[in-house]
Structure 1
C-alpha cells in the first residue's frame, strides 16, 4: 500500500459503513482519503499525488478494493503512468477508469471554507460534483486549466504574443462552455435543496440562498474580446471559469460577512447534504459518504439534525476523536467500529 502513514492495510466494511476513532494524526483521515483516491482518483487534501506516498516507503503507493461489486486498483509511481485496473483489466485513461466508478460526498471541518473562504473553494465544490455527473466535465476542466496556464505565461510577454495567446483561447472557449453549462445546471438544482437543508438543520426559518456568477458572463469569447487590452496591461487572465463565483447568502445577506458562525457551519453542512442529494438524483443511486471528524465539532441539535438528514440507505465512513456522542446517535447502529493508532487499525 505505502499510502500516507500505512505501509499495509486490509479492511472489510459492512454495507452500512464504519466508524474510525483515535487521536489526531494517527491515520483516521488517511483511511477515508484512500477510499476517495481509489474511487475518484482525487484527494480532498492535496492535488499532488506524490505527497500521498508513505515517507520511507518505495516512492509510490497502491490501493485496491471492491467498490460497487467491482474490483478496482490504482498503482501510482513517480515518473511513470498510473495504472488503473478494473476487474483485472487495465483502463488506458483516467476517464475510462471513472466512467463506471461510484459516487462520493466528502464532509470535513474545512468545509467551513466553502462559506468563509475565497471563490476557489466553491469552484472545487462544483468541480467535484461536475466530474462525477458529467462524463465530459473532467476532460474539459483539464484542458481549460492547461490552456489557461499557458496563456498566463504568454501574457507576461505582453501583446507581442497575441497570436499564441489567441490559439490557447481557442482551446479555452469550448472547454469553458462545458464547465459553465454543468456548473449552471448543478447550481440550479442545488439552490432549493440547500435552502431546505438550512432550515432543517438550523431548526428555524433561516433562508439560505445561492447564485452562480460566471466570471465575465456565460459566453467566454465575447468576454475575452472586451478585456483583451486590459489583460495585456495587467498581464493576467481576467475572465473565464477560473473567476466564476458561487454567491452564498443567509437571510439575504452575504454569508461570509454577515452570518453567525453557527449559521455558517449550518450552511456548509447544507451544501454537502445538497451535494449528496443532487448526485443521487442525477445518477439514480446513493453516493458513499466520507465524513471526517465533523460530528464532534457540532452542538447536539445540529448533530442530531445532520444525522436525521443523512440518507439511511447510504454507506457512511466516519472518523471521530471520541465516541461519547455516538451513544446518543442510534442512527449509527450497524456501523463497524475500528480504533486507529500510529498507522495501525483494529476492530473495537
Structure 2
C-alpha cells in the first residue's frame, strides 16, 4: 500500500503532498479539480502507465517540460523524475537502469473508471489495452513480448510504406514480428484461461443472478503467424501497414451465450465491465501474492443501489482503495466506507 504521495509539476499540481490512510480514501470534489490526476499519479508511479494518455509528456504541468512523483509504500520508496531526455527512476534511492527493472518489484494496480463500459461497447482496442495492462503485471515475459512485438511492428510498417524497401530487411522484421507475436498470443491465451473463472465469480457476486458471462480470446490469425504474414505481404504493401497479428486480436464477451455488446442491457454491460476489473484484482492477488491497489474513478454514480452495494462488498477487505466522486449522495443511508477528503484548489482537507 501507499502511505504518502508527493507531486511536482504533475498535471494541475505544482507542489502537492498527501499522507494516505492505510485503508484508502474517498476524494470528493467538483469536476476539473484534479481528482482523477491524483489516481493517475499513483498509477504512473507504480506502473509507468497512464489510463488517460499513451505518452508521458501531457502529464507535465502546463508550461513545464518535466514532472516528479514520489511515493512511500510498504518496504520501499519510489521516485520518478520524468524529463524529455531520459527519466530518472529510483527505488529506495537506488537508480533503476530502465523501465523493466523499475517495474520488476512494483505493486500491482487495478484501475476502474467511468469509461470502463467501453470494454463491452467499444472496439477491440479497449479490450486489448485491458489484456495488456493486466498481462504486464501478471507475467514478467508479457511486457517484454509486448514491447518487442510493438517495436517490430512499427519497423515493419515503416518498411511497408516505402517504395524502395529492402525485401530482405522486410523479411527479417516479418520473422521478428512472428516470433514475438506468437509468444504474445500464447501468453494472452494462457491469461484468459486463468481469468475467465474470476470474471464469472465476480459477475455473480454483483449481478446477483444466475446469468452466464463468458470471455474468450479471439486471435486475428490462426496457424503459423510467419506463414500468414508472408502470404499477406502484397496486401500489407498496398495498405502500408500490417493487417493481421496480435495487434488485431480481441475478446468475445457473451452473456447467456449472446453478444453482451448487442443484447445485454446497459446495467448488465456495466456489471460485466466491473466484473472484468474485479477479476483483474483477484487474479493478480492469486498470481503475485499482493493485493492490488484499487484506483476507482467516479464509477458509483452510474450504478443502481443494488449493484453499488454489491460492488463495495466485492472489493477485497485488505485492499487499499482510492475512490473519487463528485458527491456522496450514492451512499444514501450506508455509512461511508473510507476516510473522506474534499479536494479544492489542489488541496485536500479531511471531512
1:6 aligns with 2:6: no
User: Which residue matches 1:342?
Assistant: 345
* 1:16 aligns to 2:23 (yes or no): yes
Instruction: Please give the TM-score of this superposition, normalised by the length of structure 1.
Output: 0.94
How much has 1:178 moved relative to structure 2?
2.7
Contact 1:158-1:232 at 8 Å conserved across structures:
no
In structure 1, the partner of 2:68 is 62
Does 2:65 correspond to 1:43?
no
2:27, 2:177 → 1: CA distance? 43
For the residues of structure 1 that align with 2:180 and 2:165, how far apart are their CA atoms?
25
1:154 deviates by: 1.7
Task: From 313, 323, 344, give the equivalent of 1:318.
Answer: 323
Q: How far apart are 1:227 and its partner, in Å?
A: 2.2
Say if 1:22 and 1:341, in contact at 8 Å, map to a contact too.
Answer: yes
After TM superposition, give the deviation of residue 34 of structure 1 in Å: 0.4
Q: Could you tell which deviates more after superposition, 235-244 or 29-38?
A: 235-244
Q: Deviations over 1:13-53 (max 9, x none)?
A: 12110110001110000000000000111100001111000
Alignment of 1:1-348 (within 5 A): 1-56=8-63, 58-78=64-84, 80-157=85-162, 161-217=166-222, 219-326=224-331, 328-330=333-335, 333=337, 335-348=338-351
- Any stretches of 5+ residues in structure 2 without a counterpart? 1-7
Residues 26 and 324 in structure 2, CA contact (< 8 A), matched pair in contact too: yes
Query: CA 1:62/1:267 → structure 2, altered by over 3 Å: closer, same or farther?
Result: same
- The whole-number CA distance in structure 1 between the counterparts of 2:19 and 2:242 is 48
- Secondary structure at the residue paired with 2:242? coil
Post-superposition CA distance 1:132-188 (Å, at most 9, x none): 121122222122112111211221236954322212122222221332222111111
Pick closer, same or farther for the CA change 1:218–1:8 going to 2, 3 Å.
Answer: farther
CA RMSD across the alignment: 1.6
CA distance, structure 2, for counterparts of residue 218 and residue 271 of structure 1:
28
Deviations 1:211-244 (A, max 9, x none): 1011112642232133233323433212211011
Q: 1:159 to 1:114 in 2, by over 3 A?
A: farther
Give the distance between the partners of 1:282 and 1:223, measured in 2 at CA.
34
Instruction: Return the offset for 1:198.
Output: 1.8
Distance 1:219 1:273, change over 3 A: farther
Structure 2 CA distance for aligned equivalents of residues 217 and 202 of structure 1 = 35
* DSSP-derived class of the 1:136 partner: helix
Matched residues in 2 for 1:280 and 1:125: separation? 17
Distance of 2:118 and 2:159 partners within structure 1: 32
* Greater strand proportion: 2
Comparing 308-317 and 172-181, the one that deviates more? 172-181
Q: Distance in 2 between matches of 1:180 and 1:238?
A: 16
Alignment partners' CA distance in 2, 1:283 and 1:195? 21
Give unmatched runs, 5+ long, in structure 1. Answer: none
